[in-house]
Amino acid sequence: MWLYYLPRFAGLLENGYDSDGSGIDKEAEFPTRAARLLYELFGFLTSWTTLYDRLPEGSKLRLMPDRHDRGSAIPHSAAIALGETLAIVMASERIDDGVIQTLHDVALRAIREIHDDGMRGYVTEAILRGGENKFSAPHLDRLADRFIRIDAYDQHEMASYADALNARLADTPRPRSQRAPF
């Protein structure tokens, strides 16, 4: 499915991201074309993910997959691609901090907008896994660092995400310099 190519595109944009040129305002919402393209990419992924709520009851596209590493329908595949794309952006040392925060917030908005009927948990799991089959302590730490930066209202609206993130932070093996759940 074409959705699985989008994380590759994000990786290419991340690899070529450069905001060090003269006249580039790093504090702008989208300091470079690559930043804007990443934003558009996240918009596509979140819209395909939140499509789930607009599907009629009983639709085959609403069936939850048995596994988290492979989506059974477009919304699930989009959630997996969203998690992988977010992990690429969050691990970047090239992309500006403000852009990373914006993209993080856009991705989490998909969780907030989906009704709590199983798909919200599926999207949460996809973001926490970051496209991997197992949880990564560095990825979870980056998610926690970004989550505490969003406003209190959004944190409250995503309490189930915060609970899942804290549970994974506590359960994921890590070196001695262990991060405590927030």
- The boundaries of the domain holding residue 132 are 33-171
Q: How far apart are CA 24 and CA 166, in angstroms?
A: 37
43-55 pLDDT tens trace: 999 999 999 999 9
Give the pLDDT of residue 117: 76
| Percent of the chain whose pLDDT exceeds 70 | 92
Give the pLDDT of residue 1: 65
Task: Tell me if 100 is assigned to some domain.
Answer: yes
**What 3-state DSSP class applies to 135?**
coil
Task: Tell me if 81 is assigned to some domain.
Answer: yes
Give the pLDDT of residue 131: 82
Task: Tell me if 145 is assigned to some domain.
Answer: yes
Task: Tell me if 46 is assigned to some domain.
Answer: yes
Task: Tell me if 21 is assigned to some domain.
Answer: no
Please provide the average confidence, as pLDDT, over all residues in the chain: 90
Give the pLDDT of residue 27: 87
Task: Tell me if 124 is assigned to some domain.
Answer: yes
Number of domains in the chain: 1
Low-confidence ranges of the chain (pLDDT < 50): none
Predicted model pTM: 0.91
Task: Tell me if 72 is assigned to some domain.
Answer: yes
Give the pLDDT of residue 4: 86
Give the pLDDT of residue 179: 59
Determine the residue type at 39: Y
Token couple for 54: 């607009």
Q: How far apart are CA 133 and CA 115, in angstroms?
A: 25
Determine the residue type at 30: F
Q: Within its chain, how far is the Cα of 44 from the centroid?
A: 13
Specify the DSSP class assigned to residue 178. Answer: P
Give the pLDDT of residue 181: 61
Task: Tell me if 82 is assigned to some domain.
Answer: yes
Token couple for 146: 């970004």
